[in-house]
Amino acid sequence: MTNPESDTDVLIVGAGPGGTAAALMAASLQLRTVLVEAAHIGGKLCTIDAVENVAGNWSSGTQLAAALVADLEWLRGQRRCSLIQARAVAVSGFDDRVEVTLTDGTVLTAGAAVVATGVGSLSVVDTEWATAPDDFDPPFLWTTSPEDLRGRTYVLGADRPLGTWLRSHAAKQFHLHVIVPPGDAYKAAEVADDDRLHILPVEQVDITRSAHGDPWRIEVTGKDHQRVTYATRNVLNNLGSKPEALNGLQIDRAGYCPTERQHKRIRVAGDLRSARFQRIATAQGSGAEAVLSLFYDNLEHIGQRE
Ligand SMILES: Cc1cc2nc3c(=O)[nH]c(=O)nc-3n(C[C@H](O)[C@H](O)[C@H](O)COP(=O)(O)OP(=O)(O)OC[C@H]3O[C@@H](n4cnc5c(N)ncnc54)[C@H](O)[C@@H]3O)c2cc1C
């Protein structure tokens, strides 16, 4: 099913900081723009309590997300961008156009596309260093507040939200046991000075359900191959993230989508590009740059009017 209404200059998938920056840049270049967003404008910003590395004196992600909502409302009011609230499943590049397919089968067409769908959360089954029963589904660290912590709490993984979470609760006292696989050691080093953390470097973790007392048994194999078992009812997920690639994108070995590997009419912005540059400021910069590079490539059917 093709939707002729959607035929536009640039389709942008994902309205986090990457996609919204792309939409603002496209509007400034007089490009007709359609933004496709599955959930909330602002993306991950809506979940970040404390921010300290974004220019403009922003102190929280939610504050910045509210400003982006206002930016987009203004663009939409001026008919310089429209928003489709839907989930995209695939993107395809052709000589003269791109197509983005939504979950209901609708096919949107445009001269070009910017995909900024970010990353999703890992669970234990996605790791090579941990095992757990199928029903093991701990809450995320970053959706938990220190007041929710009861008794000894283990955090699985030392991904970067840990640092943000510690800064968000800088004045709070608590104690967390952070289980750190080898791949997260460099991230644990960034927060190792915080005396509210007890860092546990591990090679392997096996989680099983216990019939009595605390429900989870966490068997940890350390670097010295010694095994230690802890019993607890409190485990939090901080394992990290995996790319939310659309079908049709070219992916690298880690599942990321470097923009230079894509069709000439498709650019990738934000966290989806690489595990290395996952920051708000780089998402915004890459979103704006994606649109500029499409514009200056002078591709047919982008920005030309009768
Ligand atoms: C807890 C936490 C704390 C953080 N703290 C900081 C910090 O302090 N400083 C910092 O610089 N960075 C921080 N980050 C990282 C930062 O949030 C990301 O780098 C940034 O949000 C990436 O922007 P993005 O636009 O690439 O993706 P996202 O913000 O993830 O936005 C992607 C958007 O795409 C939408 N989407 C996904 N799939 C589809 C689909 N198939 N169809 C349609 N829409 C789709 C999503 O709903 C979402 O709105 C933090 C991240 C987390 C999780």
What pLDDT digit, counting tens, does each position of 237-258 carry? 999 999 999 999 999 988 999 9
Q: What pLDDT does residue 206 have? A: 97
117 Cβ closer than 6 Å to some ligand 1 atom = yes
Q: What pLDDT does residue 304 have? A: 62
| 125-164 per-position pLDDT tens digit | 999 999 999 999 999 998 899 999 988 999 999 998 899 8
Please provide residue 267's backbone torsions phi and psi, each rounded to the nearest 5 degrees. -120, 155
Domain residue ranges in the chain = 8-120+241-296, 124-237
Q: What pLDDT does residue 3 have? A: 44
Query: Taking a C-beta distance cutoff of 8 angstroms, is the pair 298, 270 a contact?
Result: no
Query: Taking a C-beta distance cutoff of 8 angstroms, is the pair 14, 284 a contact?
Result: no
Q: Which residue CA neighbors atom 37 of ligand 1 most closely?
A: 117
283 Cβ closer than 6 Å to some ligand 1 atom = yes
Does residue 6 carry a pLDDT above 60? no
Q: What pLDDT does residue 305 have? A: 54
Q: What pLDDT does residue 213 have? A: 86
Q: What is the mean pLDDT of residues 162-171?
A: 92
Q: What is the mean pLDDT of residues 119-124?
A: 94
Query: Taking a C-beta distance cutoff of 8 angstroms, is the pair 25, 291 a contact?
Result: yes
Q: What pLDDT does residue 301 have? A: 75
Q: What pLDDT does residue 16 have? A: 98
Does residue 2 carry a pLDDT above 50? no
∠ CA 245-50-241, nearest 5°, is: 25
**Nearest alpha carbon to residue 113 among 36, 218, 227:** 36
Q: What is the mean pLDDT of residues 219-233?
A: 93
| 44-67 per-position pLDDT tens digit | 999 898 888 999 999 999 999 999
Q: Could you tell me whether strands 227-232 and 216-221 are parallel, antiparallel, or unpaired per DSSP bridges? A: antiparallel
- Report the separation in Å between the CA atom of 258 and the middle of ligand 1, taken as the mean of its atom positions: 17
Query: Taking a C-beta distance cutoff of 8 angstroms, is the pair 116, 270 a contact?
Result: yes
- The percent of the chain in helix, strand and coil, each rounded to the nearest 5, is 30, 30, 45
* Topology of domain 8-120+241-296, CATH: FAD/NAD(P)-binding domain (3.50.50)
- Fold match, 8-120+241-296 / 124-237: yes
Instruction: Please tell me the distance from the alpha carbon of residue 223 to that of residue 236, in angstroms, as a whole number.
Output: 22
Say which CATH architecture domain 124-237 belongs to: 3-Layer(bba) Sandwich (3.50)
pTM value is 0.84
Q: Could you tell me the pLDDT band of residue 5, with boundaries at 50, 70 and 90?
A: very low
Query: Taking a C-beta distance cutoff of 8 angstroms, is the pair 50, 164 a contact?
Result: yes
CA-86 nearest atom, ligand 1: 43
Q: What pLDDT does residue 143 have? A: 87
Task: Report the residue among 24, 45, 48, 246 best suited for mutation to probe ligand 1: largest number of ligand atoms under 8 A from its CB.
Answer: 48
Share of the chain above pLDDT 70, in %: 97
Average pLDDT of the chain is 93
